[in-house]
């Protein structure tokens, strides 16, 4: 669509990957400072919702590249928070099993996503696919159990 040379496109994607790695570190730091795993995860879900809406609305505009990169960075940023929260909520006796279930479910969803979105893209285009993905971070903002989180004494 943008007629980019493969090397230039690869450099842009590499920037997104580096940004994602740095965002994971930043999310961990943020979570430690906030004394919360859930609140940062919920705020990131809100940000992902907004970025995906921008991407869906501006798929064929210059803003799409920046939105796509930002979406790539944001969507990986809370991964460490999720793993940590699963282990913390499960407790010592169940942490391994809980992490196994969480990791298996995440990998099943990650495996199913490309063929499902390929079908959506084939039927309705990229904008439709990006719009469809908005449902997931929006749902996350509702189901992330912020109110049930144990509060860190540093933030109380």
Tell me the domains of the chain and their CATH numbers: 6-145 (1.20.1250.20)
Residues of the chain with pLDDT under 70: 1-2, 150-156
Beta strands in the chain (DSSP E): none
pLDDT of residue 148: 75
The model's pTM is 0.87
* Burial class of residue 2 in the structure, from the number of CB atoms within 10 Å of its CB (0-12 exposed, 13-18 middle, 19+ buried): exposed
Nearest C-alpha neighbor of 74 from the set 53, 101, 58, 102 = 53
pLDDT of residue 2: 63
pLDDT of residue 19: 96
Helix (H) / strand (E) containing 24? helix 6-34
CA 86 from centroid of its chain's CA atoms: 16
pLDDT of residue 153: 47
């Amino acid at each position: 669509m943008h007629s980019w040379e493969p090397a230039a496109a690869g450099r842009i994607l590499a920037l997104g990957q580096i940004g994602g790695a740095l965002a994971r570190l930043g999310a961990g730091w943020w979570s430690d400072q906030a004394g919360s795993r859930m609140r940062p995860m919920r705020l990131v879900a809100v940000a992902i919702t907004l970025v995906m809406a921008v991407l869906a609305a501006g798929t064929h505009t210059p803003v799409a590249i920046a939105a796509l990169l930002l979406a790539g960075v944001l969507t990986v940023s809370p991964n460490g928070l999720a793993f940590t929260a699963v282990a913390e909520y499960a407790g010592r006796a169940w942490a391994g099993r809980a992490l196994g279930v969480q990791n298996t479910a995440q990998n099943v969803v990650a495996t199913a996503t490309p063929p499902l979105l390929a079908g959506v893209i084939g039927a309705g285009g990229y904008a439709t696919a990006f719009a469809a993905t908005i449902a997931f971070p929006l749902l996350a903002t509702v189901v992330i159990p912020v109110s049930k989180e144990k509060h860190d004494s540093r933030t109380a």
